Amino acid sequence: MSTGEVAIRIRSVGHQFGEAGEARHVRALADTSLDIVRGELLCLIGPSGCGKSTLLNVIGGLLAPTSGTVEVAGKPVHGPMPHDIAYIFQENALLPWNTVDENVRLGMLFQGVPKAEHAARAQRSLEAVGLAEFADHYPAQLSGGMRQRAALARALSLQTGILLMDEPFGALDEQTRMILGEDLSVLLARTEKTIVFVTHSLGEAAFLADRVAVFSARPGTVKKIIRIDEPHPRNPAFVTSEKFTTLRNELYALLHDEIRKAVGSEAPRGRRGANGGAP
Amino acid sequence: MARRREAMERLASRAVQIGFLLALLASWYAATNFWGVNHLLLPNPVAVFHQLVDVLKTGQFLPDLRVTATEFAAAFVLAMTSGMLVGCFVSRSRYWVAVFEPLFAGIYSIPIILLLPLYVLFFGLGPASKIALGTTISFFPVVLSTIAGFGHVDRTLVTAARSMGASDYQLFRYVLVPAALPVILTGLRIGFTVALLAILGSETIASLAGLGHHIVQLAESMEMARMFAYIAFVVAITVLLNGLVSHLEARGRRHE
Amino acid sequence: MTSIQSSGVATTARPREGGNPALDSRLRGNERMKAARAFLLRHPGIVRLGAVIVILLAWEIAARVFMDPLFISPPSRVFASLGAVLHTEGVPNALRLTFFELAVGFAIAVAIGLPLGLALGLQPFGRRSFMPIVLLVYGMPKVTFLPLFILFFGIGPASKIAFGVAHGIFPIIVTVVAGVQGLKPILLVSARSMGASRWHILRWVIFPHMIPSFFAGMRLGLSGVLLGVLLAELYVSTAGIGYFTTMFTENFQPAKLFGLIAMLAAMAIVLNEIVRRAEHRFSRWR
């Protein structure tokens, strides 16, 4: 990653759900500004409810922020930009009544890719994620990890410059996550995509990201940005290196206070502070 | 804001409901009073109301209600006990479930009302044929739900209870029954509804007494207003009973 | 014991050869029993068939030995009477007419129920307003209205079709409405993020999502129509099926009565099976 041009420009974005004074009123995101550079993988990490997913939805145009602006490739975001941005969700968002191949093709149909290109592009993206043999399977016939691979294939086939991933491996078990993370790193080394990746796994963030944006507790904003200079594809051995451990510990220290704050604000009053020390 | 909007919408849909029912009633009234619809086809709502008051005041419905209620109670109790017993027995082994469940489900998908002529031939026009039909019809939802209820008890719960040393009886009483109960309750509610339908239906088609029979008699003597009053009476009772049973079912599965 | 010892090595290779012949055959019988048991355990369908045959046999014996032939017929005689039933003047016509009523009633119930269910399902305000009314009418015992239907529509097919529709349409509406509700919002969001148009979403997300509940609704609707039409047919004793069931009952012809009812049951089974297969075929992805 070089200090290239800015792909996503976030300027004082804030968001609240509901109106002030209402029971359901929540200030999810407070005045956040951030530049995301072309070709980098930026991880958003923070305590649950800190607004990292909200920010992702704002970037993707799925949510209009209460304040601030987002620019993608120099254009202000006012709604989904299917030609610039592809999405991968935490939940399985494949259409259950279509096969994997049909799901990939439907994505291209929605985006407006000419029919003639569908077959080749679907084939290529399914091969890239290692699912070519399962093209004719229905999502229900696949494991959770394979379903997320299929979702990744669908996003890749759209050939967007930006990939937004909202805790894509959140529902998977630890081992599947690890393998998918390694494969993703290999895949990304080959493409020039800008990726914003929301996670709450410290290891995942440290392993995948070029930069990690650590969020504060709600209303969330970027507390600190940590740079990770390690070329992609990252070697599995990176996980056991001292550099990785140091990074992970640094992230842990940054996050810990915020998580305490987030949990403490939910816990009964008497308990707060009583176990505020280190575990 | 949002909450006020919600409350407004709820109010609006209530208004639509009441408006719809009022419009129905008004057009009924207008049809019989001003548009010249034959009273032999559609009686005047005011006349129906007077008849209803009369039916309730004189208590003329009591003998028929007693017949219908007795038939229904007999049928439902028979179906409930036999259905739950057979269901318990069959669900003791996965194998018997595999043998009998499709059989019961298959028979249940045939309109069992077809048995009515056979039961009339065999048991006569009296209450016995009604009870037989009601029992047959409501047996199936009860037995199927009992099998389903016991079949879907979480194995972990059973293992956990066993590990704590539960006896067969304790396992049944404290784990299997409470776990299966919600599904069984649904079966009982459905059984209740279809038994009621079967009793009223068989009384309508071939019988000597009962509320269904009385409605047919009124239809044959063309006493339309009184017939409508009786229909309203029966519908009100069944809707109330069904509501009560749904409420009991919901209470029984509160923890879900 | 001694025989095994005396036969030496050969017996250990084929231990059941020679020796005590009675014990031997019993062992072999045991083995065959075990194999049969294993076979039956793997095929509960055969035991199910066996159970049906046992019931029919019991019925046959009971009907022949213990019961009055004026009231009940053994299955063999019912089967033999099927031809006679079909040759009774008017029965084929009544059956055909019933089938016609079922088909038309089902078509009308689906034609009205599906769009109504779809409209209510997709329109939250309409749903909140009208679903309580639909559920109320669905829960009413419509059989109490049966004499009214006959008075309004006569004793011909119209009343039976109307009564069938009255029974079939509500389960269709309720099922379709419930089906529309079940769509996972993430699928809509995801389609929108890929640039899907309103038409795309309707065609590729909402519509395929609806298919299973369409069919489930149709299956329930068919049971409703069957119930309604048959109730009305049995009620009207001056024409159609009801006339013949009444006649066979009054003339004490149980074999013919059983036969006629078996034919109607077969009709119901065939219709159910058609809808069930169609449903299965369109829900492969589940």
Residues of B in contact with C52 (CB under 8 A): 103
Q: Is A91 part of any domain? A: no
Any CB–CB contact under 8 A between B244 and chain C? no
| pLDDT > 70? residue C240 | yes
- Mean pLDDT of the B95-118 span: 87
* Mutant choice from C56, C78, C135, C143 vs B, greatest count of B C-beta within 10 A: C143
Q: Point out the residue among A85, A89, A154 whose CB comes nearest to the CB of C186.
A: A89
Measured between CB atoms, does C161 come within 8 Å of chain B?
Answer: no
B12:C139 CB<8 A: no
Residue A198 host element (H or E) = strand A194-199
C-alpha span between C171 and C177 (Å, rounded): 10
Q: How many helices (H) and strands (E) does chain C have?
A: 14, 0
Where is pLDDT greater, at B38 or C266? C266
What is Dmax (Cα atoms) for chain B?
77
State the chains in contact with B (3 or more Cβ–Cβ pairs under 8 Å). A, C
- C201 occurs within a structural domain: yes
- Contact residues for A110 (Cβ-Cβ < 8 A; gap 6+): A82, C191, C194, C195, C196, C197, C200, C204
DSSP label of A64: -
- Do residues A85 and A75 lie in contact, with contact meaning Cβ atoms separated by under 8 Å? no
CATH number at residue C264: 1.10.3720.10
Element (H, E) at A43: strand A41-45
CB atoms within 10 A of CB A69: 14
Contacts with A139 from chain C: Cβ below 8 Å: 285
Inter-chain CB proximity C72 and B122 less than 8 Å: yes
Backbone φ and ψ for A50, nearest 5 degrees, come out as: -85, 0
Q: How far apart are the first and last CA of chain B?
A: 32
DSSP letter for A14, please. E
The two beta strands, A162-166 and A85-88, are: parallel
pLDDT of residue A276: 37
Asked if B215 lies within 8 A of C147 by C-beta distance, the reply is: yes
Same domain, yes or no: C31 and C96 = no
Residue of B nearest to A22 (CA): B1
Give the gap in angstroms from C-alpha C200 to the nearest C-alpha of chain B: 30
Query: Which residues in chain A are contacts of B2 at CB distance < 8 A?
Result: 18-19, 22, 24
B174-197 tens-digit pLDDT:
888 888 888 899 899 999 999 999
Question: A172 lies in a domain?
Answer: yes
- What pLDDT, on a 0 to 100 scale, did the predictor assign at position B142? 95
- Chain C residue closest to A109 (CA)? C196
- Contacts with B, C 219-238, CB within 8 Å: 223, 226-227, 230-231, 234-235
pLDDT single digits (tens) C74-130: 888 888 888 888 888 888 888 888 899 999 999 999 999 998 998 888 888 888 888
Q: Check residue C27 and give its pLDDT.
A: 64
Q: Is C132 helix (H, G, I), strand (E, B) or coil?
A: helix
CB-closest option in A82, A106, A140 to C204: A106
- Quickly tell me which residue has 């539960």 as its tokens: B166
Residue A127, domain member (yes or no): no
Chain A positions with Cβ closer than 8 Å to C: 60-62, 80, 82-83, 85-87, 89, 91-93, 95-98, 106-107, 109-112, 138-140, 154, 158
- Predicted confidence (pLDDT) per residue in A86-128, tens digit: 999 887 889 988 899 999 999 999 988 898 888 999 999 999 8
pLDDT digit string (tens) for chain A, length 279 residues: 445 688 888 888 888 887 766 666 777 788 888 889 888 889 998 887 778 888 888 998 888 888 888 888 888 888 888 888 999 988 788 998 889 999 999 999 998 889 888 899 999 999 988 888 999 999 988 988 899 999 999 999 988 889 999 988 887 888 888 888 888 888 877 778 889 999 888 888 888 888 999 888 777 788 888 888 887 788 888 888 888 888 888 888 888 877 777 676 654 444 444 343 333
Between CA A263 and CA A257 the distance in angstroms is: 10
Distance spanning both ends of chain A, measured CA to CA: 37
Domain assignment of residue A77, yes or no: yes
What is the C-alpha separation between A39 and A41, in angstroms, rounded? 7
Tokens at B131, concatenated: 């009870």
Per-residue pLDDT of B40-77, as tens digits, reads: 778 888 888 888 888 888 888 888 899 999 999 999 99
Q: Please tell me what DSSP assigns to residue A77.
A: P
∠ Cα A64 A27 A87 (to 5°): 40
**C75 versus C158: which is more confidently predicted?**
C158
Residue A104, in any domain of the structure: no
From chain A, the residues in CB contact with B6 under 8 A are none
**Cα separation of A110 and A34, whole Å?**
30
| Residue A111 falls inside a structural domain | no
Using the structure block, give the residue that is written with the tokens 């206070």: A257
Q: In this complex, do C187 and A95 lie within 8 Å of one another by their Cβ atoms?
A: yes
Contact state of B114 with C235 under an 8 Å Cβ cutoff: no
With CB atoms and an 8 Å threshold, state whether A110 touches C187. Answer: no
**CA-wise closest residue to B17 among C126, C162, C252, C107:** C126
C104 within a domain of the structure (yes/no): yes
Bigger pLDDT: B112 vs B4:
B112
Q: Does B5 touch chain A (CB under 8 A)?
A: no
- Number of domain units in chain C: 2
Is C45 within the bounds of a domain?
yes
A42, A227 contact by CB (below 8 A): no
Whether residue C143 contacts residue C231, with contact meaning beta carbons closer than 8 Å, is answered with yes
> Whole-angstrom Cα distance, residue A88 to residue A169?
10
What per-residue confidence (pLDDT) applies to C24?
A: 64
In the prediction, which pLDDT does C22 show? 64
Residues of C with CB under 8 A from a CB of A: 184, 186-187, 189-197, 200, 204-205, 208-209, 211, 284-286
Range of the domain at A54: 6-84+160-271
CB contact under 8 A, A19 and B3: no
pLDDT (0 to 100) of residue C111: 94
Domain that holds residue C209: 83-282
Same-domain status, C42 and C102: no
Could you tell me if C161 and C214 lie in one domain? yes
- Are residue C87 and residue C33 in the same domain, yes or no? no
- Of B37, B95, B68, B4, whose CA–CA distance to B202 is shortest? B68
DSSP β-bridge partners for residue A225: A213
Q: What's the CATH code of the domain at A225? A: 3.40.50.300
What is the number of other CB atoms lying within 10 angstroms of the CB of residue C257? Answer: 26
A53, A94, A95: best mutation site toward chain C, by most C Cβ within 10 Å? A95
Dist. CA A36–CA B28, nearest whole Å? 69
Looking at beta carbons, which residues of chain C come within 8 Å of B220? 147
B35: how many CB neighbours lie within 10 A of its CB? 9
Tell me if residue A197 falls in helix, strand or coil. Answer: strand
Q: Please state, for a pLDDT cut of 70, what percent of chain B lies above it.
A: 98
Grade residue B132 by pLDDT with cuts at 50, 70 and 90.
Answer: very high
**C27 in a structural domain:** yes
Kindly report, residue by residue over A25-61, the tens digit of the pLDDT.
777 788 888 889 888 889 998 887 778 888 888 998 8
Residue C8 zone, left/alpha/beta (φ > 0; ψ -120 to 50; rest):
left
Looking at the structure, tell me whether residues C170 and C222 fall in a common domain. Answer: yes
pLDDT, position C225: 93
**Residue B204 is nearest to which of C151, C235, C269, comparing CB atoms?**
C235
C184, C195, C285 member nearest A80 (Cβ): C195
**Tokens linked to B238:** 């069944």
Give the number of domains in chain A. Answer: 1
Q: What is the pLDDT of residue A270?
A: 43
For C19, the 3-state DSSP assignment is coil
Residue C78 lies in a domain: no
Q: Is residue A120 part of a domain?
A: no
Considering the domain architecture, whether residues C172 and C46 belong to the same structural domain is answered as no
Q: Do B239 and C136 make contact, defined as CB atoms within 8 angstroms?
A: yes
Q: Does residue C174 share a domain with residue C59?
A: no
CA B134 to chain centre: 10
Gap between the Cα atoms of B245 and B250, Å rounded? 9
C143 and C43 inside one domain? no
d(CA A234, CA A208): 8
In this predicted model, which residue has the larger pLDDT, B191 or B28? B191
**CA closest to A23 among chain B residues:** B3
Q: Kindly state whether residue A95 falls inside one of the protein's structural domains.
A: no
For CA atoms C48, C49, C55, C61, give the dihedral sign.
negative
Does position B82 have pLDDT exceeding 90, yes or no? yes
Residues C59 and C131 in one domain: no
Percent of chain C with pLDDT over 90: 16
Per 3-state DSSP, what percentage of chain B is helix, strand, and coil (rounded to 5)?
85, 0, 15
Q: Which two tokens stand for residue A250?
A: 């640094």
Average pLDDT over residues C187-216: 88
The torsion angle over the Cα atoms of residues C149, C150, C151 and C152, rounded to 10 degrees, is: 50
Q: What is the DSSP string of A205-235?
A: HHHH-SEEEEEPSSSB-EEEEEE---PSSPP
Q: Please work out, in degrees rounded to the nearest 5, the angle formed at the alpha carbon of residue C232 by the alpha carbons of C227 and C237.
A: 135
Whether C51 and C125 share a structural domain: no
C-alpha distance from A94 to closest chain C C-alpha (Å): 7
Q: What are phi and psi of A15, to 5 degrees?
A: -150, 140
C141 and C60 assigned to the same domain = no
Minimal-distance CA residue of chain A relative to C200: A110
* H helix intervals, chain A: 52-59, 100-111, 115-128, 144-157, 174-190, 202-208, 242-264
Token readout for C151 is 């008075």
Task: Identify whether C56 is part of a domain.
Answer: yes
Percent of chain A with pLDDT strictly greater than 90 = 14
C75 within domain boundaries: no
pLDDT winner (highest mean) among B94-98, B144-148, C177-181 = B144-148
Query: Do C50 and C184 lie in a common domain?
Result: no
Spatial distance between the Cα atoms of A222 and A35, rounded to a whole number of angstroms: 11
User: Would you say residue C262 lies in a domain?
Assistant: yes
Strands A67-72 and A194-199: unpaired
